[in-house]
Structure 1
Amino acid sequence: MTALGAVFRPQLPPERMRGVARVAEEAGLDELWLWEDCFSQSGIASAAAALAWTERLRIGVGLLPVPLRNVALTAMEVATLYRLFPGRVVLGVGHGVQEWMAQAGARVDSPLTLLREHLAALRALLRGERVTVDGRYVRLDDVALDWPPETAPPVLAGAIGPRSLRLSGEAADGTILVAGTPPDQVRQARGLIDEGRAAAGRTDHHELIVGLHTATGPDGPGRLKAELERWGDAGKPDVGVAGDAGTVAKAVQRLADAGGDTVVLQPTADEPDLEGFVRFVAEEVRPLVP
């Protein structure tokens, strides 16, 4: 079954999240996704709060930018969340937006090398292993978590280009694709991910999560057009959808048919009723998506 989610965008004030999370829970939404955008909101703090406010809802964070994070701290935070809320957390890491990393004094010469090293160390720590590593960026000396998760959780990676997609297939347990990725590129991404998995000899399931620009209501088409222009996606086919539940469900299905396991609907920046958007996704679109 294709999982369906919605995004709480970090451009909204953090205090709005409580109401949105509770509506998502009540409406039966599968997943609520958060971002750790610089310099808006902490992904871990936001996820912890949303998880505490709900009992069933899965909370995703995409992405934690690894240049800002020591891998030992990331592992401690992730392990804590998984032990407190087992089975309800989906976390992804990425190399971050380089302009933001430069602003924070954290930009590195080889973001992909850092991401590879971070993924390897993070996954090992979450498996309960004792890790010593002296990499280009990641250095640990006899580090192990006192409270690793009882079952090692999947660690996802954000990826766009061919090199990062292959790396995700090789070194991560799943991949997060940005909103604005059309079905044909989802298929291409799945192929590149599989190349990485084959090179690493991996046969486990690799979850693929895809975002979709979405607007509904009478002003939906206009808001979607403006949103795509802001993201530089104007004129690209199948990168967003505006319309009723049936129209949105068909767009979701196209991404699922292309290889997406989870489709996360991303409201426009000027969505006038985020709680209503979440209810729309859960109560009207969800029943139409197999």
Structure 2
Amino acid sequence: MTTLGAVYLPQFPPERLRSVARAADEAGLEELWLWEDCFLQGGIASMAATLGWTERLRVGVGLLPVPLRNVALTAMEMAALNRFFPGRAVVGIGHGVQSWMGQVGARVESPVTLLREYADALRALLSGERVTTKGRYVSLDGVRLDWPPAAPPPIFAGATGPRSLRLCGEIADGTIVTGGNSPDELRAARALVDEGRARRSTGAGDPHTTVVYVHAATGPSAAERLDGERRKWGYDTIEGRSIAGGAEQFAEAIQRWVEAGADTVVLQPTPDEPDLEGFVRFVAQEVRPLVP
């Protein structure tokens, strides 16, 4: 069954998150996703608060930029969240926007090498192993979590380029595909991820979840607001890259991304969405019943 979610953009004020999270939880939304964009909101702090304010909502962070965080710290945070809120915390890792990484002095020469080393170490730590490794970027000397999660949580990764998408298939349990990708572009990304999965030494046939963000707007100003997204991101067209209209139009469009390989479709409101609480209720109560 397709999973539906929504994004709480970091452009929205942090203090607004509580109201939106509670509205999503009460309406029955399956997932609420957060972003750790520089220099807006911290992903772990926002995730922990959201999980604490809600009862059943799954909360994702996509993505944590790995150059910003020591892998042992990320493992500690993920372990704690999964012990506090079993099965409700979904964490994705990625390269981070390179210009932002440069601003904070964390940019690396080979983001692909870092992400591979990081994911391998993170998986071992979350499995309760004592880890000693000395890679190009990740070095650990006998590190073991005292409080690992009861069961290792899935590790998601996200990227855009072909080499990095293959790496996501190879090292992660799920891949996060950014907004602005049409169904055909998602299909091409999935093929690259599958190439990476085929390279895995173990678990090549294990399930791999594909999460895709999709620009979305409803209401009388939907077309105008989505055209603003087109201008902002430099798309030649917003058609085929977004969803607009009422619940039936949303459900019909979501199916196109599902047929292209999405397991989870996360609807991304525009930064000028006038009613965030109404948006998550609309997705949960009006769109969800129409999506298989």
**Structure 2, unaligned runs of 5 or more:** none
Residue of structure 2 in register with 1:127 after alignment? 127
Q: 2-side partners of 1:236 and 1:287: how far apart? A: 26
Residue of structure 2 in register with 1:22 after alignment? 22
CA contact (8 A) 2:82 2:88 kept: yes
From 244, 247, 250, give the equivalent of 1:245: 247
Residue of structure 1 in register with 2:141 after alignment? 141
1:113-262 to 2 correspondence within 5 Å? Answer: 113-201=113-201, 202-235=204-237, 237-262=239-264
CA contact (8 A) 2:226 2:238 kept: no
- Number of equivalenced pairs: 290
1:135-191 per-position Cα deviation (integer Å, ceiling 9, x unaligned): 000000000100111111000001111101110111111100001111111111111
Q: TM-score under structure 1 normalisation?
A: 0.98
CA contact (8 A) 2:129 2:144 kept: yes
Letter of the 2:182 partner, please give it: P
DSSP-derived class of the 1:80 partner: helix
Residue of structure 2 in register with 1:64 after alignment? 64
Letter of the 1:209 partner, please give it: V
Q: State the Cα distance separating 1:46 from its structure 2 match.
A: 0.4
1:34 aligns with 2:34: yes
Letter of the 2:197 partner, please give it: R
Q: 1-side partners of 2:157 and 2:233: how far apart? A: 21
Letter of the 2:57 partner, please give it: L
Residue of structure 2 in register with 1:101 after alignment? 101
Q: State the Cα distance separating 1:228 from its structure 2 match.
A: 1.9
Letter of the 1:47 partner, please give it: M
Letter of the 2:39 partner, please give it: F
Deviates more, 1:231-240 or 1:159-168: 231-240
Letter of the 1:12 partner, please give it: F
DSSP-derived class of the 1:228 partner: helix
CA RMSD in angstroms, aligned pairs only:
0.8
Letter of the 1:2 partner, please give it: T
Q: State the Cα distance separating 1:229 from its structure 2 match.
A: 1.5
Q: 1-side partners of 2:233 and 2:258: how far apart? A: 22
CA contact (8 A) 1:225 1:234 kept: no
1:222-252 per-position Cα deviation (integer Å, ceiling 9, x unaligned): 1111112211224154111111111111111
Q: Percent identity?
A: 67
1:59-98 to 2 correspondence within 5 Å? Answer: 59-98=59-98
Q: State the Cα distance separating 1:90 from its structure 2 match.
A: 0.8
Letter of the 2:178 partner, please give it: V
1:96-155 per-position Cα deviation (integer Å, ceiling 9, x unaligned): 000100111111111111111111100110011111110000000000100111111000
From 282, 285, 288, give the equivalent of 1:286: 288
Q: 2-side partners of 1:250 and 1:181: how far apart? A: 17
Q: 2-side partners of 1:123 and 1:233: how far apart? A: 36
Q: 2-side partners of 1:274 and 1:139: how far apart? A: 42
Q: State the Cα distance separating 1:198 from its structure 2 match.
A: 0.8
Letter of the 2:44 partner, please give it: I
Letter of the 2:149 partner, please give it: P
**Structure 1, unaligned runs of 5 or more:** none
Q: 1-side partners of 2:179 and 2:131: how far apart? A: 35
